[in-house]
Structure 1
Amino acid sequence: MTPADLSLTVLHAVRRAVDDGALRVDAGDLPERVKVERSRPGGRGDYASNIALTLARPAGRRPLDVAGILKERLEHSPGLAAVDVTGAGFLNFTLRQDAEQALVREILREGRRYGWREPHGATARLVHRADLRAAVVADAASRILVSQGYRVEVGCEGPDDPEWGLLGARPGAEAPEAGERHAVADVVPLPVPYTARELLDRLGPDAARWGLLSAAAHDTARLGDELLRQQEGNPLFRVRYAHARVRALLHNARQLGFAPAGDEAPGSAAERPAPASDRPAPAQDPQPPHARRLVAVLGDQPAVLAAAARYRAPDRVVRQLEAVADVLLDFQHTVLPRGDEKPSAAHRSRLALAEAAGTVLAGGLSLLGISAPDRI
């Protein structure tokens, strides 16, 4: 990772923090670039930045608070071995030389649980309004909270409808009495004018859940027949098609006699994770177009899940899956040999990166309660 790459990585983290509401900074106060320089005496690692001090005043926060928010979004970035905060709020970066290989290895080791956190004993209680969309959003939010180490209790503000279960919304306990903590519903997306049966019959469970979850809570859910169209303009189709393409790439590579870097035989790492010590680093690979973007967006996954849990916002996971799918569909054309080209270490490395992307797609869809088909 060059200083220019690091500057872009930090700027990306700043914009994510603003987008998810952790930092409230006007667009005019956001920097166009982030200055990074070699760490000075007293600092740590290879490079440092004073960006947290620069943003503290417009954000109305202490520099140490801003540094902590950015550190959380940078810790899992490809290319960074460590992020430390020193002094009044300086960010210090230690670079890693095998960033892409390490990220791919981590994803293939963790499988669909990449980005999950260890259970920490805290309990999150969700109380949702008594309507279909709120019940489905609460169900997806509870899955995401579990992925971040929480025990989750789900309650309903009023009587629940058994038919919500047709779309995978599990019935919750009765909400607490008025006056008790969390007695008022905290999952309150705009309702939809359909019953679970109507959506199931018209769209099926996967498309219906995607439509209910893909819009932010304050936006109207998109539940038209376009969710069933197998074309590029349908985000659900793009995400599921991208996953299916990875499965096809693995199958085609097997027919050509090679496997992802680190594997003896191709297959789904999501289903059969291997210990890190058993998976050698993928071979160095000259970066093809879109590979760097794919590595960057895969590295966002842990921070996206953390933010989705914090704000009870499954739509953040939806947007992340769309971003992964869009870059993967551009990257896929570089994975397999062409014409008389023989499979090389570079192809094995690219196949491993594609497999990692497919694993992230499958894991994200699972958190949303949506299937990830191997073929479309």
Structure 2
Amino acid sequence: MTPTELSEALSAALAAAVADGTLALPADAVPASVHVERPRQREHGDWATNVALQLAKKAGTTPRALAEDLAARLGAAPGIKSVGVAGPGFLNITLDAAAAGELARTIVEAGSAYGRGEALTGQVINLEYISANPTGPLHIGHTRWAALGDSLARILRAAGAEVTAEYYINDAGAQMDRFGESVLARATDGEIPEGGYRGEYVKELAAKVLADHPELPGLPRDEAIAVARESGYAHQLAEIRDVLENFGVHFDVWFSERDLHSSGAVEKAVARLREQGHVFDQEGAVWLRTTDFTDDKDRVMIRANGEPTYFAADAAYYLSKKDRGFPGKIYLLGADHHGYINRLKAIAACAGDDPETNIEVLIGQLVNVGGAKLSKRAGNIIELRDLVEWIGSDAVRYSLARYPADTPLELQGEDMLKQTNDNPVFYVQYAHSRTVQIGTKAVERGVARADGFDPAQLSHASEAALIGRLTEFPRIVAQAAELREPHRVARYLEALAGDFHSWYNDDEKLRVTPYPDEEVTDAHRARLWLNDAVRTVLANGLDLLGVSAPERM
């Protein structure tokens, strides 16, 4: 019996109590589903609910009286071993071994679909993250958002949402001109401009630009800057794409800030917001009255000299997302972007959206990796590609995904490389590879799932604990999606790995593989189903984090 099935059984019991007059509750007040959760203490049963406390007052009875009535009705339901009433009216429910063990078959047959649900079905979300300037390589700060953003996209999709992952390329403005001048200076042995880019990577870009444009040194300066800028930009953006793909991060849309300006979208955005009544003119400039929506000051959109501000592009970009059919817009921004929260929400409000539902701004805190060497080519930063080369994509992604985004993070590179149970990513991946090896050996000894499955064989306490953990996976995925917290999946996987190791090491009698002179029994087959269910959930969970599930360690 799954949590969903138990929830439906509770709703049916409530409906029956209303129908026979025992419960004085309007029929439409009976919930379609009843929330159940795992008790903190295993001896309290498999599942618990406080539905009696929630409904008793409406029904004109006491919580305990309602709980006792529900306990009597549920006790006769198939798959339920016992129902107890605790405290003022909590229901503690214990399933019989067969009903609980049946979950192993459900998981194995569902395969990669197990854990996926419909909690966010109907939601259409634009998820923007990283959005680094194309003037240099991705660094460790971008790495954190790459890991979290991609994991969040996967988890949102698993919960039923339609998600478009988007990278906003900040390829407009004075920064791009300084970038072009810096590349040109490296290509012609000139002087790098003040505020320019000085890393060795600029020298590498300059060599590529010269290879593409050997005529560069002889061009007029303005033309040479433009060529160096555009060619260097193309090479740098290509590197960013390659590094991210190598890190397992894929974007559905690469959106250029330049397009907002060249298409007239910025001017159109100002006109649309003016029509909404939120734009005003003052001192020759055009302003958006964002203070009407909790921003600390009004924002300039068009300067007195006629040049649009970055804020105007932000507004145009928001309207672009709205026009492209994304009711939900999630921005993942760096630690230095706290000031953007209110101004982005104010843009949403000025555009006629609800800033509480149509936009979310998540701020990631700083991260540092001890033992990592600063990049020689990029200067005073740690590059994403260097981290992956040193530690590996799996270890970096998992280590970053297992902490809340708003937690400042200090990781030790050598710890992420350890092949011990103290290293969380190794611990979880090893559990998966162990399930594969156990299953392979069992099959070699003649244990086959196709020969049958008796879930009642899974009656040991450690098996009940493991099955109970497996039932939680769909809820964890839905919760991680709703709260935008991928770390919940990582922490769940660690707990599942712990339960699995405890089960397999718990008792010599709990063998999946029979001894050479031992007959294959129903118990061996049932444990193989359970072993393979664990393997399925570990693989599914690791995939949500963009981490591989190795078959051998």
**CA 40–338 in structure 1, closer or farther in 2 if over 3 Å, else same:** same
Distance 1:281 1:84 in 2: 34
Q: Counterparts in 2 of 1:335-374, with a 5 A limit?
A: 335-338=512-515, 340-374=517-551
Deviating 4+ runs (over 6 angstroms) = 67-70, 82-87, 182-185
Tell me which residue corresponds to 2:475: 303
Residue number among 375, 391, 394 corresponding to 1:206 in the alignment: 394
One-letter identity of the residue aligned with 2:366: P
Structure 1, 195-204 or 359-368: larger mean CA deviation: 195-204
Equivalence map 1:15-30=2 (5 Å):
none
Q: 1:43 aligns to what?
A: 17
Are 1:197 and 2:346 counterparts?
A: no
How many residues were matched structurally? 302
Is 1:141 the equivalent of 2:134?
A: no
- For 1:149 and 1:42, the matched residues in 2 are separated by 32
Q: 1:365 deviation in Å?
A: 0.6
1:290: how far off?
1.2
TM-score by length of 2: 0.48
Q: 1:225 aligns with which of 414, 421, 424?
A: 414
1:57 corresponds in structure 2 to: none
CA, structure 1 residues 41+321, in 2 after alignment: closer, same or farther (shift >3 Å)? closer
1:120 is aligned to 2:94: no
Distance in 2, Cα, partners of 1:215 & 1:192: 11
Matching of residue 246 in structure 1 with residue 435 in structure 2: yes
TM-aligned CA distance change 1:190 to 1:258, over 3 Å: same
Q: Which amino acid aligns with 1:146?
A: R
TM-superposed deviation, 1:95 = 5.5
For the structure 1 residues 300 and 210, does the alpha-carbon distance in structure 2 shift closer, same or farther, using more than 3 Å as the test?
A: same
2:318 counterpart of 1:176: yes
- Which of 460, 467, 471 matches 1:288? 460
Using the TM superposition, give the Cα deviation of residue 79 of structure 1 relative to its aligned residue in structure 2, in angstroms. Answer: 6.9
Question: Partners in 1 of 2:517 and 2:441 — Cα distance?
Answer: 15
Deviations 1:275-308 (A, max 9, x none): xxxxx64352152341111001000001000001
Rate the CA distance shift 1:201–1:185 in 2: closer, same or farther, 3 A. Answer: farther
Distance 1:343 1:197, change over 3 A: same
| Match among 414, 427, 447 for residue 258 of structure 1 | 447
Q: Deviations over 1:55-99 (max 9, x none)?
A: xxxxxxxxx89x89961657xxx978x998866497855562532
Which residue identity lines up with residue 133 of structure 1 in the other structure? R
Aligned-pair CA distance for 1:224: 2.1
Partner of 2:165: 154
CA RMSD of aligned residues (A): 3.7
- Give SS of 1:154's match: strand
Asked whether the equivalents of residues 101 and 467 of structure 2 are also in contact (C-alpha less than 8 Å), the reply is no
Identify, as 1 or 2, the structure richer in helix: 2
Q: TM-score, normalised by structure 1?
A: 0.69
Q: Is the 8 A contact 1:128 1:188 kept in 2?
A: no
Mind listing any 5+ residue stretches in structure 2 that lack a counterpart?
Answer: 19-28, 39-44, 60-65, 80-95, 132-141, 171-236, 256-316, 320-343, 369-381
Match of 2:267 in 1: none
Is 2:32 the partner of 1:71?
A: no
C-alpha distance in structure 2 between counterparts of 1:249 and 1:198, whole Å = 36
- Confirm or deny: 8 A CA contact 2:513 2:524 kept in the other structure: yes
Instruction: Using the TM superposition, give the Cα deviation of residue 134 of structure 1 relative to its aligned residue in structure 2, in angstroms.
Output: 1.6
Q: Take 1:357 and 1:317, find their aligned partners in 2: how far apart are those partners?
A: 15
Partners of 1:294 and 1:349 in 2: CA distance: 13
CA distance in 1, matches of 2:440, 2:245: 35
Q: 1:71 to 1:229 in 2, by over 3 A?
A: same
Task: Provide closer, same or farther for how the CA distance between residues 72 and 288 of structure 1 changes in structure 2, counting only shifts above 3 A.
Answer: closer
In the alignment, structure 1 segments of 5+ residues that lack a partner are 11-35, 45-63, 265-279
Task: Determine the C-alpha separation between the residues in 2 that align with 1:340 and 1:328.
Answer: 26
The equivalent of 2:42 in structure 1 is: none
Alpha-carbon distance between aligned partners in 1 of 2:15 and 2:107, rounded to the nearest angstrom:
35
